[in-house]
Amino acid sequence: MEFQSEVIMEHRKFVTAFLLITIFTAATSASALAQTAPTAQRPAANYPAPQDGDFKITNFKFRDGNTLPELNMHYATIGTPQRDAKGHITNAMMFLHGTGGTGRQFLNPVFANELFGPDQLLDASKYYLILVDNIGHGKSSKPSDGLHMKFPSYDYDDMVELQHKLLTDGLHVDHLRLILGTSMGCMHGWVWGETYPDFMDALMPLACQTVPIAGRNRIVRKMAMDSIRNDPDWKNGEYATQPVRGLTGAINALILMGSAPVYMQKTMPTRDQADKYLDDRIRTGLNTTDANDFLYYFNSSRNYDPSKDLEKVTAYVMYINSADDTINPPEFGIAEKEIKLVKHGKFILLPITDQTRGHGTHTIAVVWKQYLAELLEESKK
């Protein structure tokens, strides 16, 4: 589950998106991007520069009964839309980030430079790539903008409906070639497949389950949220400075939740290395996290449950988890069972290798891109 936040300088916005991915489990595990170089050393992008945009939605009514007079959905696009004879965009693809992250997660070189470049699978000269900041995240509307705990208590259905409004009303996209989602975005993908089954040709959900957030997953989420709420400095969300004790407890819980033990043992074999890693992670989290935003985006998973309607999914589905993902461990056996309910569904369990990074394997495209190629081929129309 990655992390939030309002960023002031353009450079910091870019860096934060990746640093936070490494903090929280729903989008990227603790170790997923530990190998990523600092911004100054990052490989040059091999695709066109993203174009940022904002779409204003008025009087959106949330499922909790509250309405926002104006709501902002931020996004970035790469590439150019292509239209058929009737004017419909035919080459759009949408990418959905994990809890606490932003669409810029997908600009990490281990993802974008493997997929978006010339003659690569998602070549930006051929496709119109849409990277969304979900509500509560990045530059989209969120509690820390000013409403604090008076912000509507959104859930995954609200988030998917807002994504749909952004596409149809904002970008004039009425069909997608592909939805690819990681962690929370993986779960959003399942909601999309059931809610708007004819909207996409293909779905690629990476790193999630198709059952309610329960068991250990729910317990750790509640521990993290309770840690913030139980800090007297939280002040029911009306704090002047972040509640450090509560946030530290939340970060500690989630580092464990999203960790990849084998990789971490290899890369931090000494006590000093492990201690430094923890100190750095805590420091980064405290510098880039808003407690209220955190509470909202973790609570948004509270009623997720696509299991009862999987038969409604008609898109071609390539569903992938990693064997070293401690949030979605293979011992569950859930995905293998549930995928049988999906008409055109296939499930892949990636074995543990030197390339996998636990939950964060979802962003390391070299590990699974051959399955993306298979999905795109099977879903051609």
The pLDDT of residue 20:
39
What gap in Å lies between CA 142 and CA 348, rounded to an integer? 35
Q: Domains in the chain and their CATH numbers?
A: 10-215+299-378 (3.40.50.1820)
Reported as a single tens digit per residue, the pLDDT across 181-210 is 999 999 999 999 999 999 999 999 999 999
Angle, alpha carbons 131-46-114 (nearest 5°) = 70
What gap in Å lies between CA 330 and CA 334, rounded to an integer? 8
pLDDT band at 167 (very low <50, low <70, confident <90, very high): very high
The pLDDT of residue 107:
98
- Can you say how many angstroms the Cα of residue 66 is from the centroid of all Cα atoms in its chain? 25
Mean pLDDT for 91-107 is: 96
Q: By CB neighbour count within 10 A (0-12 exposed, 13-18 middle, 19+ buried), where does 183 fall?
A: buried
Mean pLDDT for 127-137 is: 98
- pLDDT of 16 above 50: no
Specify the residue for token string 């993986």: 186
Span of 60-74, 139-153, 255-269, 306-320 with lowest mean pLDDT: 255-269
Q: What is the DSSP letter of 168?
A: I
- pLDDT of 140 above 80: yes
Q: Provide the mean pLDDT of the chain.
A: 90
- pLDDT of 13 above 70: no
- 38 with 30: CB under 8 angstroms? no
Tokens coding 24:
């929280």
Mean pLDDT for 42-60 is: 95
- pLDDT of 60 above 60: yes
Q: By CB neighbour count within 10 A (0-12 exposed, 13-18 middle, 19+ buried), where does 37 fall?
A: exposed
The pLDDT of residue 28:
35
Its pTM surpasses 0.95: no
The pLDDT of residue 15:
35
The pLDDT of residue 365:
98
- pLDDT of 21 above 50: no
- pLDDT of 48 above 80: yes
pLDDT band at 141 (very low <50, low <70, confident <90, very high): very high
Specify the residue for token string 């790539």: 129
SS3 of 85-127: the string is: CCCCECCEEEEECCCCCCHHHHHCHHHHHHHCCCCCCCCCCCC
- pLDDT of 39 above 60: no
